[in-house]
Amino acid sequence: MFLSDVLDLTIKKLKTQTANVLTLANLSLGGLAILFAINGNLNLTALLIFVAALADRFDGMAARKLNIVSDMGKQLDSMSDIISFGVAPSLLLYQGILAGFGAPGSFIAILYIGCGAVRLARFNISEQNGYFTGLPITAAGCLATLSFLAIPYLPEPLFLFIMLTLSFLMISPFKLKKM
């Protein structure tokens, strides 16, 4: 009987940490993406951001399915998201094209990160009513990363506009139904 109690407790503890492990995978992938961007390996950076988005999707699903939603998990998820979908895509686009614009490119790269942080902070203090307010940072980060793939095909100034638009969409008041 004692062994079964220990086993039950172990399974329960593992279950409660499943979503956090996926969240930390998201964070780790975002951190790696930043390191690869700094070293100029931008294609791998883009791939890591997309894989981080999968981990981000699965951590929320796991938390809801296993009924292990927590305030700590919510905060950890936002901290991970600012790394993976705020800093990493901004650095990717900065290294890929925005640096060529000098101060305006730097400003827009930082503005994107700041708007992402505001969006996440607003999400963390809001009531969860089935809607997102503004573009979720994960979506913005994936769109920014997708735009990186279009650098050879689009006029360079368009990337300033894309990052500026994504920045303002994250902090805009429009409502988007959760899926």
- For 52-88, the DSSP string reads HHHHHHHHHHHHHHTT---HHHHHHHHHHHIIIIIIH
Task: State residue 6's pLDDT score.
Answer: 67
Confirm if 107 and 148 have CB atoms less than 8 A apart. no
Per-domain boundaries in the chain: 2-177
- 2 pLDDT above the threshold of 80: no
Q: If you classify domain 2-177 with CATH, what class do you get?
A: mainly alpha
Average pLDDT (32-57) is 97
Task: Take residue 45 and report the two structure tokens written for it.
Answer: 């950076």
128 closest CA partner among 58, 177, 83: 177
* pLDDT tens digits along 17-40: 888 889 999 999 999 999 999 999
pLDDT above 80: residue 123: yes
